[in-house]
Structure 1
Amino acid sequence: MITSASGWRKVFAESGEKDDDNVEIGDLNRTIAALAAETFADYMLAQKKSPLIIVGMDTRPTGPAIAETMLRVFLAKKIAVSYTGIIASPEIMVYAHSADGFVYISASHNPIGYNGIKFGLNDGGVLNGQENAKLVAEFEKKCARPDAAEYAQKLASSCSDIDLDWVFAESIATKHSAANTYRSFEKEVISGSKEPAVQNAVFARIRQNLIQKPLCVVADMNGSARTMSIDKTFLNECGISLTAINSAPGQIAHEIIPEPENLVWCAHEIEKRQAAGDKNCILGYMPDCDGDRGNIVYWDEIEQKAKVLRAQEGFALSVLSELAYSAYQAQFSQGCGLAKKAELFLSGKNGQTGSFFGGQKVGVAVNGPTSMRIEEIAHAFKAEVFRSEVGEANVVNLAREKRSEGWTVRILGEGSNGGNITHPAAVRDPLCTIFALVKLLILKDDQANGALRKGLFHLWCEASGQMEKYKENYTLRDIIETLPVYTTTGVSEERAVLQIKTADHGILKAKFQKIFENQWNLHKNELKELYGFESYVAVRTNGTVETKNIDDYSQSGKGGLKIIFYDENEKPVAFMWMRGSGTEPVFRVMCDVKGNKPKEEQKLLEWETKMILRADSLA
């Protein structure tokens, strides 16, 4: 079992086959589930005498067996539990605000035979790396007991069947309560305000604009936990039509990971609807099994086909949108009371002047392999970018640290994996991604009381010095064409995954350093001629800390290592990155090159790969 902060995962199917869709998990996996449950139970009891834990799962076949085992252990330990059944991970994490902690049974994007467990408290996210390490240490001690299997079986069987039956009986009401809580939270996240008056003003404008220009969205649910969430009702009440395919829970029709090769079904449905005359059908998304990632498909009106938006581009658009939206809000909201804010929003009157964000220090938190296009977008709005190690928990905790230092960090995420996190959410959410794009498309320039209120795309074109590309009737393609252009390795590509024998990645990176520095000295003139590389900086990311100009690559350990290359003007023009996966037994690599330069990106990645494999052979 891989026990990272992002989730504990293994093949739970009894056969041990990753593509097995049977429901049985076998006695060994029941033991593992029981000991994991007791570990978290002890952790929670150490913090509070009578904690309440929310338990939910995605739609994987092995989920019910794991859930029942864990519920039995919690009840045997005299812990109060509420069971939601199938629920999307953003939904349970929001609902956990009303409890003391949560357990979510899922393996996210892994194949169907996998399953896993995410642990969290009531702050809306999973446990950070430090707290997760405490759980892992205790879990391993329990697994090492000579009588571990007998102990686990006895513990689970000591649960009262009457109590367990009542937990299952209450699950429908629990799920209903979770959905209502989630809906209210989504309104806060999308509008950027806790106040109902401001929320209603924002959504009223969104709905009115959608009445004038209707929008239909296609969702390939692929049998995921989002089939049981609020997507259809919420989008409908906001004025957006939703067409869902593979919409029955557990109707997993194709591979789970929402990368380009699996977004073709969503693209085909958009093309089918366009051919049938539905010209308003221009957006689509596909979540993974736990429903936290929603990668995007859009209709290209020039090429007359549905196109897949790569993960890095989708994240870049979300960052662009939310920074522009913050600037849009700042046009009328600074220094006003709640009633006045709502009045100014609806009237379009300007409530402040000055910087994009009314004097706030605004930042964006991302992981190490997120494309450098994010820096260009952020810097256009005079915002800063902060980077952490890969892992949603690392990015979320980095954003929290920066907020404690006085920064406003509304948008964060892992561009390399797709999806985005919009504060106060602490997990990716496809509805937030969809609404980032919706706001970009429909919050346009308007006139109110003789004053111009600039729309989101207008604000972006102005900030980035691209007003020549702005037009009144723009489309998503027009917006995409204003993004900074980079060529980036896709996370799901075969060439982005290496099999490494060296278990100690610190040793591997020390060997890599010697090889790289020797290669640089031998070929720097050639590298300058081919790529324009004048110099480089080595950077490591461990947890929430990014350290630049390192002279010992081994210090990155199992964290991220990146080499950033600079041109003669000391501008970053490319990077190569590496890190062992925390959720899969593989070593990930990627490159990011400024410009539309697929050949350069390919050669750079091949060079990085050769050096890593050479280092592995010497380690």
Structure 2
Amino acid sequence: MKKTISGVRGIFGEDLNLKDVLEFCNNFSSLIKSEKCVIGKDTRPSGDMMKNVASAELMKNGIDVFNLGTVPTPVVFREARRFGAGLVISSSHNPIEWNGMKFIIEGRGINEQELPKIVEHQENIKSKIGSECNITSTYIEDAKKIIGEIQNNPDIVVDIGGGAAKGFAPELLRESGCKVEVLNEELSQCSRGPDPTSDELSELRTASIKKEIGFAFDLDGDRLVVVRKGEKQTPDVTLGLGVAKSLELGYRKFVLSADTSISIEKYIKEKGGTIKRSKVGEANVIELMLQTNAQAGGEGSSGGFILPEFNYCREGILSSGLIASMLGTSNFDEILNYMKSFFQIREKTTIDSNFHDKVIEDIKNKFSKEYSDVDSQDGIKGIIDDDSWVLIRKSNTEDIIRVSAESNDVEKCKKITKDTLEIVKESYDKVR
């Protein structure tokens, strides 16, 4: 089981059980000052069971539960602003047999100070019993106000991936002025896996050839992948397009995660904006956004565009509407071509988690000798030149070490990645 600021997640029935749901929800109750909590789930088969148990435990601790049913993660985050707290039953892009919980306080995900209060045992603190009722969200109406009316009725294909974006993403796009074809509405008949960033998206790529653009979502609807003319774009392109639209709307203060493409940073600065870099992870990006009053930004590795005035989370559904609103404009082609002139490679290697810190420390010493600029804010990032970098860090969600690299030369990027993976393996052999 993984326990991080991204939430808790594991294989349901193996390392994540209903007993764990009871324990974590009991602990979470102590953080809910409003005594109100919205709850929603994605389409995983274990979702109903976990949601019912979670709701019962929250009510036992005096929390009034407002049930959204099957909804995307951004919808729960949006409503959690109104109610004070939220709980998402999901493990996002993980395989179907996984499940988990994302905890929301005052509209944002938990931070590193709050995590121990959820994963470490606490006594029951409430004596009264809470209530439960079903509610609906104003998410689509709220998102339309940000997006505005989309001109020229663009023809779009949307791959739901059998997830919770059904009933939200297609409807938002249609109501904003798009013509929409939908693929993979039902999980039982889905032609692809739950993670659009790693799936080939063959059906969507084929369908997008005759459309202006294609969008693919993960199971809980916070991740978005863009497909253009049969070609799957990198997650950084999704973020880059969201950033371009926010610059168009007048936003200038941005936060980007440490592994986000340098092309997005360059583009922001060229348009008169400023950026700060956070540790990797949605919660880390948002925490720095709150500290600096940033207006937009996100996480390149997950295609996670974030617009704080609307939601303190990755906004795959809102992003699809914002991107669709740029179709047919010079700005769309400009950012797409600009982003595609840089190349990102993201790899991972299995390393015993007991040795993660020792491996990172050993590599830090090597990088300090090899690169003139080394950033240790999150793992180790070596700045190679103005257009190239490499980052080594522990994953927030898996027992692996991740290696991310970027350059404006694809062969150089491949070599950087290959050489760094070898350095990781050498360090692992050395320290264990």
TM-score with structure 1 setting the length: 0.65
Aligned residue for 1:538?
Answer: 374
Higher relative contact order (CA 8 A, sep 6+): 2
Matched, 1:432 2:335: no
**3-state SS of the aligned residue for 1:601?**
helix
Aligned residue for 1:485?
Answer: 341
Give CA deviations for 1:65-84 in whole Å, capped at 9, x if unaligned: 11111112122223211112
Matched, 1:40 2:28: yes
Rounded Cα–Cα distance in structure 1 between residues aligned with 2:327 and 2:189: 32
The within-5 A match list for 1:488-499 is 488-490=344-346, 496-499=347-350
In structure 2, relative to structure 1, the CA distance for the partners of 1:321 and 1:42 (3 Å cut) is closer
The within-5 A match list for 1:207-356 is 207=150, 209-210=151-152, 214-227=153-166, 229-248=167-186, 251-259=189-197, 261-271=199-209, 274=210, 281-299=211-229, 306-326=230-250
Give CA deviations for 1:265-286 in whole Å, capped at 9, x if unaligned: 2112224xx2xxxxxx211111
Aligned residue for 1:182?
Answer: 139
Q: Structure 2 unaligned runs (5+)?
A: none
Q: Is 1:292–1:429's contact at 8 Å kept on the other side of the alignment? A: yes
Aligned residue for 1:582?
Answer: 396
- Shift, 1:502, TM fit: 5.4
Q: Is 1:390–1:560's contact at 8 Å kept on the other side of the alignment? A: no
- Shift, 1:478, TM fit: 6.0
Give CA deviations for 1:525-547 in whole Å, capped at 9, x if unaligned: xxxxxxxxxx5201022xxxxxx
Q: Structure 1 unaligned runs (5+)?
A: 17-27, 143-150, 191-202, 275-280, 300-305, 327-356, 404-408, 445-455, 458-475, 491-495, 521-534, 542-558, 567-571
Q: Is 1:88–1:290's contact at 8 Å kept on the other side of the alignment? A: yes
Rounded Cα–Cα distance in structure 1 between residues aligned with 2:164 and 2:333: 30
Rounded Cα–Cα distance in structure 2 between residues aligned with 1:43 and 1:483: 41
**3-state SS of the aligned residue for 1:588?**
strand
Q: Is 2:165–2:317's contact at 8 Å kept on the other side of the alignment? A: no
- Shift, 1:379, TM fit: 1.1
- Shift, 1:222, TM fit: 1.3
Give CA deviations for 1:547-596 in whole Å, capped at 9, x if unaligned: xxxxxxxxxxxx33201023xxxxx2311101111111111111111x2x
Rounded Cα–Cα distance in structure 2 between residues aligned with 1:602 and 1:400: 36
Rounded Cα–Cα distance in structure 1 between residues aligned with 2:335 and 2:277: 25
Larger radius of gyration: 1
Q: What amino acid maps onto 1:80 in structure 2?
A: D
Aligned residue for 2:359?
Answer: 508
Aligned residue for 2:40?
Answer: 56
In structure 2, relative to structure 1, the CA distance for the partners of 1:421 and 1:96 (3 Å cut) is same
Aligned residue for 2:67?
Answer: 83
Rounded Cα–Cα distance in structure 1 between residues aligned with 2:336 and 2:56: 50
In structure 2, relative to structure 1, the CA distance for the partners of 1:75 and 1:250 (3 Å cut) is farther
How many residues of Structure 1 are paired with residues of Structure 2 in the alignment?
Answer: 429
The within-5 A match list for 1:335-484 is 362-403=252-293, 409-424=294-309, 425-442=311-328, 457=331, 479-483=335-339
In structure 2, relative to structure 1, the CA distance for the partners of 1:482 and 1:508 (3 Å cut) is closer
- Shift, 1:231, TM fit: 2.4
- Shift, 1:106, TM fit: 0.3
Rounded Cα–Cα distance in structure 2 between residues aligned with 1:234 and 1:292: 14
Q: What amino acid maps onto 1:386 in structure 2?
A: K
In structure 2, relative to structure 1, the CA distance for the partners of 1:295 and 1:591 (3 Å cut) is same
Q: Is 1:502–1:508's contact at 8 Å kept on the other side of the alignment? A: no
Q: Is 1:260–1:310's contact at 8 Å kept on the other side of the alignment? A: no
**3-state SS of the aligned residue for 1:399?**
helix
In structure 2, relative to structure 1, the CA distance for the partners of 1:222 and 1:484 (3 Å cut) is closer
**3-state SS of the aligned residue for 1:420?**
strand
Rounded Cα–Cα distance in structure 2 between residues aligned with 1:72 and 1:483: 47
TM-score with structure 2 setting the length: 0.92
Aligned residue for 1:100?
Answer: 84
Q: What amino acid maps onto 2:175 in structure 1?
A: E
Rounded Cα–Cα distance in structure 2 between residues aligned with 1:478 and 1:380: 13
Rounded Cα–Cα distance in structure 2 between residues aligned with 1:483 and 1:584: 28
Rounded Cα–Cα distance in structure 1 between residues aligned with 2:300 and 2:245: 14
Q: Is 1:368–1:560's contact at 8 Å kept on the other side of the alignment? A: no
- Shift, 1:512, TM fit: 1.6
Rounded Cα–Cα distance in structure 2 between residues aligned with 1:257 and 1:308: 13
Aligned residue for 1:136?
Answer: 119
Q: What amino acid maps onto 1:29 in structure 2?
A: N
Worse-matched range after superposition: 366-375 or 313-322? 313-322
Rounded Cα–Cα distance in structure 2 between residues aligned with 1:290 and 1:365: 24
Over the aligned positions, Cα root-mean-square deviation in angstroms equals 2.5
What percent of counterpart residues are identical? 23
Q: What amino acid maps onto 1:39 in structure 2?
A: N
Structure number with the higher strand fraction is: 2
- Shift, 1:89, TM fit: 0.5
Matched, 1:565 2:384: yes
Q: Is 1:224–1:287's contact at 8 Å kept on the other side of the alignment? A: yes
Aligned residue for 1:119?
Answer: 103
Give CA deviations for 1:390-420 in whole Å, capped at 9, x if unaligned: 11011011111111xxxxx332111121131
Q: Is 1:37–1:74's contact at 8 Å kept on the other side of the alignment? A: yes
Rounded Cα–Cα distance in structure 2 between residues aligned with 1:284 and 1:511: 43
Rounded Cα–Cα distance in structure 1 between residues aligned with 2:85 and 2:296: 24
Aligned residue for 2:10?
Answer: 10
- Shift, 1:251, TM fit: 4.6
| Partner residue of 1:67 out of 30, 51, 65 | 51
Q: What amino acid maps onto 1:441 in structure 2?
A: L
Rounded Cα–Cα distance in structure 2 between residues aligned with 1:502 and 1:591: 22
- Shift, 1:517, TM fit: 4.9
